[in-house]
């Protein structure tokens, strides 16, 4: 999407002009001249009660080509006293989605001065909203070329001197969220572990990251038998993806991101019911979020050392598949009794967390569509956050408030740890009690050593089964914005040894994206239908 800034006085031709208005607001001065030229259509619609400015309300008006826009779309911001950056984002995403359905390809948006004063990072939020609202996954549509998509967005405002840099940043984040959604929306016969690995290599070339892909023989050499136990039933080879930003700068604050990459989850021998099994293509959403975040980290050149790890594989039944009751040894020496092969995500992540310790990180952050219990506990409205470090959890919660990707902190007590102890091995991959989301985290904790660690169970928020006014069905892109906000403001432990001069962690306002040598290659609804499946 091309994004530019023009002053209202120099606005060029466009299909639709978006005008945001509060409830019970008089027509602002900047709109009155426009309105007089279109026979007071805006004021008339307000007087007639056709448009009241309620949150996310839209009204499309034809201008008979009397102004620079063929049509005007009024968008409601709701009550002024309840206005927030989040309400702005939802309104703009809704408006742009409405404009796209009206077959607009070019859109202008008024950014009133009073909005700019209320929202500090207005341009960035607006651009991300544009990507969220206009996203469509059309890869497998026969007539996808005929689908009209918005390709140009003009912000009408008197911009500041750093506007170009802010636009560049917003585009990087918006594009990265769209990349995650694309990866997760592909069917599993296309989005295989091999395809994820190839995508990681392309991301590395675009964002100047170091990329390493480990194959089955490499995993065997690293004794990753928990990970390998999941892949045994599949003909698709596993791929362990390692992306690194600032690889050699080991004195920088270091964060390891881990994303579950199960490209399709049948449950293995513990086979899932057939109803809704197609949605198990989204079981790699955590891995997709990590890949997309690493792209943004590299292009934004964040002053951190960031490592993204994605253990990719399928979980399939077959003659070689792991059976319930089997015992495997993870790469840290712990033995695991596999009581349910559908609790496979924690197995691949176990070995991945052990591998991540070699980077001596200041913290681990992992994302996984790990448990159906999380959907029962929190619905489709929030991810569960669990960990061993309250300071890191608070930083995640602060980042979630900035990205509007809700999280809810659940406890992790010794009682939960007891529930994953096995009678015949060190631990078992399902619990002896309830609290499935927490006991899954208790299992993972066995593989993080004493490193600060935060686990995000995104099973309820990673995808949606029905479209919303501000977003398409399928992958929601959850996690990318949250991780970027977290990394921008990351506070590393003060005990970190400094081998280089101290570096400010917060991303500078005038950040400029890397320019690649060649272009990059190529949740849930509020009333979601009940699914008979659970993530593992």
Q: Any idea which residues carry the catalytic annotation?
A: 272, 346
- What DSSP state is assigned to residue 282? G
Burial environment of residue 520 by CB neighbours within 10 A (0 to 12, 13 to 18, 19 or more): middle
CA 311 – CA 293 distance, rounded (Å): 16
Length of the chain: 536
- Contact in structure between 417 and 445 (CB atoms under 8 Å): yes
Tokens at 450, concatenated: 């004493």
Those residues whose C-beta lies under 8 Å from the C-beta of residue 430, and which sit 6 or more positions away, are 339, 340, 343, 420, 439
Residue 196: both structure tokens together: 């994820």
Q: Are 111 and 88 in contact (CB under 8 A)?
A: no
- Radius of gyration of the chain measured on its C-alpha atoms: 24
The DSSP H or E segment spanning 383 is strand 383-387
Tokens at 408, concatenated: 């809810």
* Cβ-defined contacts of 337-341 (< 8 Å, 24+): 337/422, 337/423, 337/424, 337/425, 337/427, 337/428, 337/429, 338/229, 338/428, 338/429, 339/428, 339/429, 339/430, 340/270, 340/429, 340/430, 340/536, 341/230, 341/267, 341/268, 341/269, 341/270, 341/315, 341/536
Give the C-alpha separation, 234 to 320, whole Å. 8
Tokens of 323: 């059976």
Beta strand pairing call for 69-76 and 58-62: antiparallel
Give the ranges where 372-526 is alpha helix by DSSP (H).
Answer: 372-378, 390-403, 414-418, 436-444, 480-488
Measure the CA–CA gap between 331 and 222, rounded to whole angstroms. Answer: 7
Residue 153 CA, chain-centre distance (Å), reads 23
Beta-carbon contacts of residue 501 (< 8 Å; ≥ 6 apart): none
| Tokens 């198990």 sit on residue | 280
The helix (H) or strand (E) run that includes residue 385 is strand 383-387
């Amino acid at each position: 999407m091309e994004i530019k800034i023009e002053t209202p006085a120099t606005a060029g031709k466009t299909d639709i002009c978006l005008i945001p208005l509060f409830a019970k607001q008089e027509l602002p001065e900047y709109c009155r001249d426009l309105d007089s030229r279109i026979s007071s259509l805006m004021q008339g619609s307000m007087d007639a009660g056709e448009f009241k400015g309620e949150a996310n309300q839209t009204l499309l008006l034809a201008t008979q080509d009397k102004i620079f826009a063929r049509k005007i779309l009024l968008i409601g911001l709701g009550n002024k006293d309840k206005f927030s950056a989040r309400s702005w984002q939802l309104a703009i995403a809704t408006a742009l989605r409405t404009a796209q359905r009206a077959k607009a390809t070019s859109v202008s948006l008024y950014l009133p001065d009073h909005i700019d004063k209320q929202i500090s990072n207005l341009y960035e939020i607006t651009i991300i909203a544009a990507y969220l609202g206009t996203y469509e996954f059309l890869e497998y549509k026969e007539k996808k070329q005929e689908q009209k998509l918005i390709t140009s967005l003009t912000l009408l405002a008197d911009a500041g001197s750093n506007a170009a840099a802010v636009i560049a940043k917003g585009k990087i984040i918006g594009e990265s969220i769209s990349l995650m959604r694309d990866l997760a929306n592909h069917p599993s016969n296309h989005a295989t572990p091999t395809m994820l690995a190839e995508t990681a290599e392309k991301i590395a070339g675009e964002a100047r990251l170091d990329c390493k892909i480990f194959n089955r023989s490499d995993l065997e050499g690293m004794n990753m038998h928990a990970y390998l136990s999941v892949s045994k039933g599949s003909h698709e080879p596993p791929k362990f993806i390692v992306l690194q930003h600032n690889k050699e700068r080991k004195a920088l604050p270091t964060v390891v991101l881990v994303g579950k990459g199960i490209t399709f989850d049948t449950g293995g021998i513990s086979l899932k019911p057939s109803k809704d099994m197609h949605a198990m293509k989204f079981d790699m959403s955590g891995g997709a979020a990590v890949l997309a975040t690493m792209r943004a980290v590299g292009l934004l050149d964040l002053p951190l050392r960031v490592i993204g790890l994605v253990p990719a594989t399928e979980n399939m039944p077959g003659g070689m598949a792991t059976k319930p009751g089997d015992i495997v040894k993870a790469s840290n020496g712990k033995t695991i009794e596999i009581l349910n092969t559908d609790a496979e995500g924690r197995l691949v992540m176990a070995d991945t967390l052990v591998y991540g310790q070699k980077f001596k990180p200041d913290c681990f952050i992992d994302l996984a569509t790990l448990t159906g219990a999380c959907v029962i506990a929190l619905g489709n409205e929030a991810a569960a956050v669990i960990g061993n470090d309250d300071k890191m959890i608070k930083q995640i919660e602060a980042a979630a408030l900035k990205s509007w990707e809700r999280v809810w902190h659940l406890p992790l007590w010794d009682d939960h740890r007891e529930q994953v102890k096995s009678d015949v091995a060190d631990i078992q991959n399902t619990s002896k009690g309830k609290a499935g989301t927490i006991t899954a985290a208790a299992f993972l904790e066995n593989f993080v050593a004493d490193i600060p660690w935060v686990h995000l169970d995104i099973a309820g928020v990673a995808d949606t089964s029905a479209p919303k006014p501000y977003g398409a069905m399928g992958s929601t892109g959850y996690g990318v914005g949250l991780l970027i906000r977290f990394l921008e403001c990351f506070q590393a432990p003060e005990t970190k040894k400094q081998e280089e001069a101290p570096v400010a962690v917060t991303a500078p306002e005038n950040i400029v994206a890397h320019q690649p040598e060649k272009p990059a290659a190529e949740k849930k609804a509020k009333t979601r239908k009940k699914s008979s499946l659970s993530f593992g």
